Amino acid sequence: MTSDMKTAGLALTLVFAGLIAAASASAETSQGDHREPDAAVLSRIRSTAMSSDWAWDELETLTDTIGPRLSGSPQLSAAIDRFAHDLRALGAEVTLQPSKVDHWVRGESQAELVGYPGQPPGVTQRLHLTSLGGSSATAAGGIEANVIVVRDFGDLHAHATEARGAIVLFDARFDQGLADSGQAGPAYGQAVQYRGKGPSEAASLGAAAALVRSVGGADYRLPHTGLTQWSDHQAPIPAAALSSEDTDLILRLAARGPVRMRLLVEAQTLPDADSFNVIADWPGYESPNEYVVVSGHLDSWDLGTGATDDGVGVVAAAGVIQALQHLKLHARRTIRFIGWTDEEFGGRGADTYFTSVGPAISDHCAAIESDAGAGRPVGLLAAVPKESLAALRPVTDALAPVGATVILRQDRAVGTDIAPLQAAGVPGFAPFVDTRRYFDYHHTAADTLDKVDPHYLQSQVAAMSVLAYFLADRPDCLPRYPIKSER
């Protein structure tokens, strides 16, 4: 970060020199307008966003009135209809882009310990768990099997014989210390691999079911759901996230002797459902067929109401259109809001959009996605070449009054839905938000509206609005910056 900031400072001088040159060039030639977006305009956009309650009202509707928005659910359809309506009401050109999505239904999940060392007669212990997206069901009355605890994939394979017919429990702890130091993403990544691939690995060894220690920092015995993925042609097994506290309980008991569990999971996968990406264009005055995408995902997990994942992101992105509508302001290029469908179930909405773009990818100037929760925005993540950083200085200048001044350069996808666009070279951006407590609520029943600070939401709208307008209004797009696809 330090060297990037130095580069930014050095190149800033060059940008100002360029600005003066561009201004005098356009004075000399009457052809075209080569000015950079005006600082006063960027400030007005920020102030408008900071004084608007539109995004908050949308979030309240999304979470309190509509509720959880799982792929294939009637709530997701209701959210899509509502967004299309509200963006049309702002005067945006709204299209619903059809996309098939997964349709998985949770049902009940229950577990109890029915055998363990020192167990008093007639006593069992109820556990707190929730099934993982993509899990299959147990037999109607549940299953009963011994539990084996493994630390990682190597440990699983070292216990391949015991895994057959057993309930395998992956004990990978979310490193809250890492999250506290500002590295919540890597903390999540290193634990979530077992949620993503653990059940599949266990199934390949003939396990009866697989459990993972909940991925997240909360210590309120709350299970965190999420997607688990199966290899092609693999028959899914029952898979669930067990609360961190109950994982610790089993670890303690298993240290004393065999532990036996009864497990009931009712999950089922239905045929694919019809869904839509919501696309709302705020047309450019000069190049309406060139785009700056600003986005978040409309779907959510089903335990909470998807307030921070990703209600905040999707309403903040839509808030960009509202801020510009309020100011009656259009940029050179079209600012395209996208409310993605199916992010949580693998991103089929994003794949549909990317496929539909085809060669027109060259008309995508930049892509912004907010999907990191409701923490305080401290700046922007920017997947751009080092040389582009200086050009972004007017954005952080305009955002200084809300404290969003840091640009952290990235060489990776900054959002799962824009990852295919980024892989094709489109510069990618995201609000840089404080995620230290994000994984306390993420994918749990506690992801509800009260976790959102209205002021931080306004700050996110401000950050995305200023950035989107700036990128869409510059004479040129920033250089392409293909990142390695992580999907």
Q: Could you tell me how far CA 202 lies from the centroid of its own chain?
A: 27
The catalytically annotated residue of 343, 344, 387, 486 is 343
Judged by beta carbon, residue 276 or residue 345, the one nearer Zn ion is: 345
253 close to 146: Cβ distance less than 8 angstroms? no
Hey, which residues between 217 and 236 contact Zn ion (CB under 5 A)?
none
84 Cβ neighbours under 8 A, 6+ residues apart: 94, 96, 278, 280
Nearest residue to Zn ion, scored by beta-carbon proximity: 310
Judged by beta carbon, residue 86 or residue 371, the one nearer Zn ion is: 371
Which one of 182-190, 206-214, 303-311, 318-326 is the stretch in contact with Zn ion (CB under 5 A)?
A: 303-311
In 3-state terms the chain splits into helix, strand, coil percentages (rounded to 5) of: 40, 25, 35
What is the smallest separation between the CB atom of 391 and Zn ion, expressed in angstroms? 29
Judged by beta carbon, residue 58 or residue 309, the one nearer Zn ion is: 309
Which one of 267-275, 301-309, 346-354, 400-408 is the stretch in contact with Zn ion (CB under 5 A)?
A: 301-309
Judged by beta carbon, residue 432 or residue 470, the one nearer Zn ion is: 432
What is the smallest separation between the CB atom of 463 and Zn ion, expressed in angstroms? 18
Rounded to an integer, what distance in angstroms lies between the CA atom of residue 98 and that of residue 84? 13
Beta bridge partners of 369: 295
Rounded to an integer, what distance in angstroms lies between the CA atom of residue 253 and that of residue 258? 8
The closest alpha carbon to 257, from 382, 146, 339, belongs to 146
SS3 295: strand
Our finding on whether 369 is near Zn ion (CB under 5 A) is no
What letter does residue 117 receive in the DSSP assignment?
T
What is the smallest separation between the CB atom of 13 and Zn ion, expressed in angstroms? 39
What letter does residue 418 receive in the DSSP assignment?
T
The closest alpha carbon to 41, from 478, 472, 476, belongs to 472
Our finding on whether 281 is near Zn ion (CB under 5 A) is no
Could you give the dihedral angle defined by the CA atoms of residues 7, 12, 17 and 21, in that order, rounded to the nearest 10 degrees? 110
Determine whether 343 is an active site residue.
yes
What is the smallest separation between the CB atom of 314 and Zn ion, expressed in angstroms? 9
The closest alpha carbon to 83, from 284, 329, 273, 297, belongs to 297
Judged by beta carbon, residue 316 or residue 324, the one nearer Zn ion is: 316
Judged by beta carbon, residue 171 or residue 371, the one nearer Zn ion is: 371
Our finding on whether 371 is near Zn ion (CB under 5 A) is yes
What is the smallest separation between the CB atom of 293 and Zn ion, expressed in angstroms? 16
Select the residue interacting with Zn ion from 58, 310, 440, 473 (CB under 5 A): 310
SS3 375: coil
The token duo for 435 is 């995620």
Rounded to an integer, what distance in angstroms lies between the CA atom of residue 57 and that of residue 196? 34
Which one of 127-135, 209-217, 275-283, 310-318 is the stretch in contact with Zn ion (CB under 5 A)?
A: 310-318
What is the smallest separation between the CB atom of 452 and Zn ion, expressed in angstroms? 14
Rounded to an integer, what distance in angstroms lies between the CA atom of residue 455 and that of residue 458? 5
Our finding on whether 342 is near Zn ion (CB under 5 A) is no
What is the smallest separation between the CB atom of 344 and Zn ion, expressed in angstroms? 6
Judged by beta carbon, residue 302 or residue 309, the one nearer Zn ion is: 309
The values of phi and psi at residue 187, to 5°, are -60, -45
101 close to 349: Cβ distance less than 8 angstroms? yes
Judged by beta carbon, residue 211 or residue 464, the one nearer Zn ion is: 464
418 close to 349: Cβ distance less than 8 angstroms? no
Our finding on whether 309 is near Zn ion (CB under 5 A) is yes
Which chain residues interact with Zn ion by CB under 5 A? Answer: 309-310, 371
Residues serving a catalytic function are: 343
